[in-house]
Amino acid sequence: MNPNPVTLKMEKVYHPCFLLTKKCYVGYSYESPEQSEPVFDAKGIETVHRDTCGAVSKTLEKSLRLFFEHRNTFELKAYLQRQWTGILSGRVSLQDFVYAKEVRLGTYFTRSSSSLPPAAMRADPRAEPRYAERIPYVVIHGEPGARLIDMVVDPLELLAMDSPFRLNDLYYINKQIIPALQRVFGLVGADLIWWFIEMPCPVREAFAKRPFSAPNAQRTRIDYYYLSKHCILCGELVQASAHIYNQSLQKGASAAAAVIGRTSKLERERCNTLLLFVDIVEAVTGLWKVESSALH
């Protein structure tokens, strides 16, 4: 039916495969009847995305291969629970959890920052990212209810010897790995959220990058173990080792005057509280004397 030289050629046959949405599919592909070993081929999913981290793409690809080979969810469930246990126990490679998202806007001072990677929001104006630059960052534990932008740091800061940061394992599992896998294996009835809930919670081994015998007076205070706290002037989140936000600190004399004013106010409130306490004690003492004399 096709005039010469037009010929029809079979492109690929997928068996088995997952068809998610338009231009989003994955499976074992065969290009000829003589081909015995299939080729893992994925289009439009997290295994080929550059914006995701290695932990998501590697876990998804390994899970798909297990399911294609065994055709059941038992091996898949056991594999995922082993992976989650390793992540929660801290037995992971940091390079698999590093994001390197591309900056799509030329400048983030005059436009909305919603399309930027969280690590692009830096306090130093000279560190403004360029267009199409990929900025690496990792997500760490933060205060309850903290924004994602407040929980990202450079990977080198996490690897520092005296770093107080810890990888946010629950964020990577609940917000990245499980949603990516649920979109695929939800088609066969798998409930990955329940698989994660029912697995035994591992106990993270206590370790320190510095010996515990090293003298450190700050370790006697509980605020040493906080990852961040609020600036005493503007209320922005700062690292636990700092007290004032960088932009507030750059104001110089006005920042110093604000700190002195806050200190004076606290001292006045403290003196008023002490005076009120003394008045209460004197009133109670006088009342006790009156009652004692009445009894006599």
Chain segment 8-37, per-residue pLDDT in tens? 888 899 999 999 999 999 999 999 888 999
Contact of 201 with 169, CB cutoff 8 Å: no
Is the previous residue joined to 129 through a cis bond, with omega within 30 degrees of 0?
no
Question: 64 with 107: CB under 8 angstroms?
Answer: no
**SS3 assignment, position 100:** strand
Q: What is the mean pLDDT of the chain?
A: 78
pTM for the whole structure: 0.62
Listed in order, strand segments (DSSP E) in 60-110 are 99-102
- Own/partner contacts of 199-208, CB < 8 Å, gap of 24 or more, are 199/81, 199/84, 199/85, 201/88, 202/85, 202/88, 202/89, 203/89, 204/88, 204/89, 204/90, 205/89, 205/90
Largest CA distance in the chain: 128
Q: How far apart are the first and last CA of the chain?
A: 125
List the chain pLDDT tens, one digit each, 296 residues: 889 899 888 889 999 999 999 999 999 999 988 899 999 999 999 888 877 888 999 999 999 999 999 988 999 999 999 999 999 988 888 899 998 877 765 544 444 444 555 655 554 555 666 666 777 889 998 888 888 888 888 888 888 878 888 899 999 999 999 999 999 999 999 999 999 999 887 766 544 444 444 445 545 556 555 555 667 666 666 655 555 656 566 666 666 777 777 788 888 888 888 888 878 878 878 777 666 666 66
119's CB contacts (< 8 A; 6+ apart) are 99, 101, 135, 136, 137, 152, 153, 154
Cis peptide before 117 (omega within 30 of 0): no
Given 3-state DSSP classes, what are the helix, strand and coil percentages for the chain, each rounded to the nearest 5? Answer: 45, 15, 40
Record the tokens describing residue 251, joined without a space. Answer: 């104001």
